[in-house]
Structure 1
Amino acid sequence: MIWFDFGGVLSPPLAELYASYERKTGITPEQLVGAMRTVAEGMGLPTLAPVELGVVSEAEWGRGLARALGAAHPGIDLSRARLETFGEQWFAGVTANPLMVAALRCAREHGLGVGILSNNVVEWEPYWRSIVEPAGEVDFLVDSCKVGVRKPDPEIFRLAARAAGLAPEQCVLVDDLAGNCAAAAAEGWRTVHFRDDRQALRDLGRCTGLAAFERLAPRTAA
């Protein structure tokens, strides 16, 4: 069974999402990440854990971001940012990564189980689900905000394998974060560290023995 990450795999790369958000709001990636860290550190948690674990609501988190941004950058213009409904603005105009959507569909068509294993936020579900809708149905969804544990915590990989009724070695994780891949591998999973579409499709083909993945890869110019 292949478990796909959402952010940075089925979605565009995170750098593109941050750049898009800056165009919408004027808030730079550095400013935004700094504010996220400030809010999380105040709770003793990793950067996005407060919302990815459902510790606070999106609205509470957004108000915390506004305070952190104002304190770190006096006079910053937040007039274009809708921080209390962050997800709606963050995902506006975002479309899925077509090659990873094709990979998910290819896996399903060739009889492999498919799932989404994601650190995500309760209030963001309508937006990210609409983005991945072209991929069709998945067999399992394991979402951090619903199960109360997030990658790279080993428990989320144990939980996902149990939910699918599979041994760890029957699970493959496709994720853009090396730390998540390392944590999954430590639990006995096979992993594909997504760095770009061509590499990920090639590695998926090698990992599963399914040549159809490699045939999806874009051809290089002659």
Structure 2
Amino acid sequence: MGDRQFKAVVFDFGGVITASPFEAFNRLEEERGLPADFIRSVNAANPHSNAWAQFERAEIDARRFDVLFEAEAEALGHRLEGRAVLAVLSGAIRPEMVRALDQLGQAGYRLACITNNVPSGHGAGMARSGDAQDAYEQVFARFEHVIESSKAGVRKPDPRIYMMMCEHLGLAPAQCIYLDDLGINCKPAATLGMAAIKVTSGAQALADLSALLGMPLG
């Protein structure tokens, strides 16, 4: 842990607390006979202004996303409607991550979440439902503060969203650890001074977090 005194752990949701949505995307691609990672390639084109980015900032609705995404997919040579992508945008909660949240809370660490999500539908990548019986909401309840791109109007990797969290917590970035399954989202967090962990699996995330904090997790 070195000389750093961490006060908070900030989590991404989809792909960290839950299994990666990319797994579901790959299943959809296989079902449709599309190249592997085609959906990711659509979302990587014009990443700050494409349909996905606009939807995560709640600048367009689901119907408009459906149309725009399909046009972007066709421009890359394949047919895929946006509504089909939204239909699989969920992920199974990783129980070991939930146990770690409880352990961290009991150890006195402040817990928060920054998530890029869309404003309609249901699942890990959707805006919060507010339903206390919902499994995702029960996990969200463990966080002191949650910033959702679809409500904040700003999305990762915009540095502003990380600073919004730090300002809310009243902490310097150097006092925070940030976990995300996308390197592009970890980079601005690290640049601001957070200790960033790129998540490739639940076990790896907990091992790296345990090493930083000097405590067993999971």
Matched, 1:51 2:55: yes
Matched, 1:122 2:119: yes
Q: C-alpha separation between the residues in 1 aligned to 2:211 and 2:88?
A: 34
Partner of 1:132 in structure 2? 136
Partner of 2:171 in structure 1? 166
Q: C-alpha separation between the residues in 2 aligned to 1:104 and 1:28?
A: 36
Partner of 2:72 in structure 1? 68
1:64 is aligned with what amino acid? L
Structure 1, gaps ≥5 residues long: 217-222
Q: C-alpha separation between the residues in 2 aligned to 1:102 and 1:174?
A: 16
RMSD: 2.7
> How much does 1:17 deviate?
2.3
- Equivalent position SS for 1:54: coil
> How much does 1:133 deviate?
3.8
Given that 2:113 and 2:146 are in contact with CA atoms closer than 8 Å, whether structure 1 keeps it comes out as yes
Aligned partner (choices 165, 184, 198) of residue 179 of structure 1: 184
Give per-residue Cα distances to partners, 1:114-164, cap 9 Å, x unaligned: 11111111114x422545345351111011222222222211111101112
Aligned partner (choices 190, 199, 203) of residue 204 of structure 2: 199
Given that 2:179 and 2:197 are in contact with CA atoms closer than 8 Å, whether structure 1 keeps it comes out as yes
Given that 1:118 and 1:143 are in contact with CA atoms closer than 8 Å, whether structure 2 keeps it comes out as yes
Higher relative helix content: 1
- Equivalent position SS for 2:14: helix
Give per-residue Cα distances to partners, 1:88-121, cap 9 Å, x unaligned: x1136x3212222222222122221111111111
Aligned partner (choices 5, 8, 19) of residue 12 of structure 1: 19
Matched, 1:151 2:156: yes
Larger gyration radius, structure 1 or structure 2: 1
Sort the Cα spacing of 1:207 and 1:24 in 2 relative to 1 into closer, same or farther, 3 A. same
Identical pairs, percent: 27
Sort the Cα spacing of 1:164 and 1:99 in 2 relative to 1 into closer, same or farther, 3 A. same
Partner of 1:91 in structure 2? 89
> How much does 1:26 deviate?
5.4
Structure 2, gaps ≥5 residues long: 1-7, 129-133
Given that 1:118 and 1:144 are in contact with CA atoms closer than 8 Å, whether structure 2 keeps it comes out as yes
Sort the Cα spacing of 1:109 and 1:135 in 2 relative to 1 into closer, same or farther, 3 A. farther
- Equivalent position SS for 2:16: helix
Partner of 1:141 in structure 2? 146
Report how many aligned residue pairs link the two structures. 202
TM-score, normalization by structure 1: 0.76
Sort the Cα spacing of 1:142 and 1:194 in 2 relative to 1 into closer, same or farther, 3 A. same
